[in-house]
Amino acid sequence: MKKYQVIYADPPWRYSFSKSNSRKIENQYPTMTVNDICAMEIPSDNNAVLYLWATSPKLLEAIKVMEAWGFKYKTHAIWDKEKIGMGYWFRGQHELLLVGVKGTFSPPPPPLRISSVIKEKRGKHSKKPNGIRNRISEWFPNKNKLELFARTSTKGWDIFGNEVVSDVDINTLSETNETNETNETNETNDIFKNF
């Protein structure tokens, strides 16, 4: 199986605090629980970098996912959407782009490093700035790159997602561990089939 040195992921986080059915994330796209996301077997190389999108309420869950996938948190950037959104404690205007490393992996060359605050007006629901993916391509031109939960294809990247024709098959840990068959596992696999 092909291994990737660069992983870029925007998981479909499930939220449980919507006050009305009309505001549920599932009205936009299918979501996954943190345990479902953690159970994914990511085909990352022994030396790799992960760029993982998370909203503020999902920060701890994102760290959990990062660790489950074998990466160690290093830093993060903030995407300032330049437009205020919804929220309970604060009305959200930003998202986090966490960076984790597995094994040994060098950061981008110093002349190519950018500010940790990325300002770009938000567009379609959950769509991330294209400039980030382009920067990652520029930073690591000769590395195998995989975008998880992709919505479109990008030259130079393999993709996985339920809105695209995926280049890779990704199993869950429960699918490869035949001795651990439970109702919860079957439910996880049924949800995962949406991707």
pLDDT for position 1: 85
pLDDT for position 180: 45
Tokens of 133: 């993916």
What domains lie within the chain, and their CATH numbers? Answer: 4-192 (3.40.50)
Distance CA 86, CA 81 (A): 12
Q: Please, what are the averages of pLDDT over each run of 10 residues along the chain (195 residues)?
A: 95 71 54 92 98 94 98 97 87 95 97 95 76 95 96 93 88 58 45 49
Q: Which candidate, 69, 39, 28, 25, places its Cα nearest to that of 189?
A: 39
Residue with tokens 């199986």: 1
pLDDT for position 192: 46
